[in-house]
Amino acid sequence: MGLPQGITGSTMPRRQLGRQLRDLRNRARMTTRVAAQRLEWSEAKIWRIETGQTSLRGLDVEAMCKIYAAPADVIEPLIALARETKARGWWTEYSDVIAEGFEVYLGLEEAAIRLLTYENDLVPGLLRTQAYARAVLVGARPDIAPAELERRLAVFAARQTILTRAENPVRIEVVITESLLWHRIGGAEVMAGQLEHLRRLCELPNVDIRVVPTDSGYHDGMESGRFVLLEFGDTGNLPEPSVVFVQTYTASTYYEKDHEISRYRAAFAKIKAAAVDARDLLEEARAGL
């Protein structure tokens, strides 16, 4: 039932365990308030467990299964899964420079088999050069300490290995707007390097980059804003539902309900239909620098 240690850290085991414990509670027709009272926990703790926000001890899982009257053959696998909620992903080494809550996304990104990404302002993080990423970070925080800057750049580099790893590189479909190709982030030289990097990425069999031309008229991305739809295979013996990640200026939001996933999937299809192969527009933008 478990996941390979050290690959996705604790994110996926936490999510899987939380969903199964929530299902057991619902089958027992028990509210979170009643469950919290019987376990002598807070409702907030139950919520964190069921949404995969925290690791869990085997003893806690056993206690929850007992009050939910879980079948005997379910309890031991769940206790084993609880052990995996303490696994550490590579990003824990950079916890001092990763925004609160973003480690959840990193675990999902690491475990995904396919990413559908729409971006309308900046080159997506997985596709950035170090120079471009540096310009964005310094632009956002001109006073950033050199040591912190280098550690943040190391996070970008570590994330990008999923594109070229030897075993199961992630398949990624990216749609970006043409206008962002003309934003001289970091100056002409940095932008030229970024555009060339995107062109080279287009040659990878697992990477598909498309661009929505500025003269394309209306497309659904104008309503949806930027987002990433993450798809997963079977992790262990458990199917992992797709997730949509939306990051705004002040918050990060995860959408997991079927109707939410369906709307974003349909939006991506419409955005992609308005887009063209990136190569010609990348060359045009580079020539215009």
Is residue 115 in a domain? yes
250 and 211 in a single domain? The answer is yes
Q: What is the pLDDT of residues 268-279, one digit of tens each?
A: 999 999 999 999
**pTM, to two decimals:** 0.83
Whether 165 and 260 share a structural domain: yes
Domain assignment present for residue 151? The answer is yes
In a shared domain, residues 62 and 124? no
Same domain, 193 and 214: yes
CATH number at residue 145: 3.30.870
Give the count of domains, the chain.
Answer: 2
Does residue 74 sit in the same domain as residue 185? Answer: no
In a domain, 90, yes or no: no
Domain end call among 84, 105, 132: 84
Q: Is residue 2 part of a domain?
A: no
pLDDT score of 103: 86
**pLDDT at residue 237, as a whole number:** 55
Distance of alpha carbon 143 from the chain centroid: 28
> Is 137 inside any structural domain?
yes
Indicate whether 89 belongs to any domain: no
Which amino acid makes up residue 67?
I
Who contacts 173 (Cβ-Cβ below 8 Å, separation ≥6)? Answer: 114, 115, 116, 117, 208, 210, 268, 272
Q: Are residues 103 and 67 in the same domain?
A: no
**30 with 112, same domain?**
no
User: What confidence tens digit (pLDDT) does each residue in 226-244 have?
Assistant: 999 999 976 555 678 899 9
Q: pLDDT value at position 248?
A: 87
Distance between first and last Cα of the chain:
53
Domain range for 208 is: 95-287
* Burial annotation 119-133 (CB, 10 A radius, 16+ → b, else e): bbebbbbbbbbebbb
Tokens 């559908």 -> residue: 116
Do both 179 and 276 map to the same domain? yes
One domain, residues 257 and 163: yes
β-partners of residue 173 are: 116, 208
Q: Is 185 within the bounds of a domain?
A: yes
Structure tokens given for 245: 């990640």
123 contacts: CB under 8 Å, gap ≥ 6? 132, 176, 180, 185, 194, 198
Looking at the structure, tell me whether residues 167 and 106 fall in a common domain.
Answer: yes
Task: Indicate if 129 and 226 belong to the same structural domain.
Answer: yes
Q: Using CA atoms, how far apart are residues 118 and 174, in angstroms rounded to an integer? A: 6
- Pick the last residue of a domain from 30, 54, 84: 84
Measured between alpha carbons, how far is 18 from 85 in angstroms, rounded to an integer?
10
Using only the alpha carbons of the chain, give its radius of gyration.
21
Q: Which CATH number goes with the domain that contains 62?
A: 1.10.260.40
Residue ranges in the chain whose pLDDT is less than 50 = 1-7
80/100 same-domain check: no
Q: Which residue among 62, 84, 106 closes a domain?
A: 84
To the nearest 10°, report the CA torsion of 63, 64, 69, 74: -90
* Residue 1 maps to a domain: no
Task: Fill in the amino acid letter for 21.
Answer: L
Q: Which helix (H) or strand (E) holds 114?
A: strand 114-119
DSSP 128-174: --HHHHHHHHHHH-TT--HHHHHHHHHHHHHHGGGGT-SSSPPEEEE
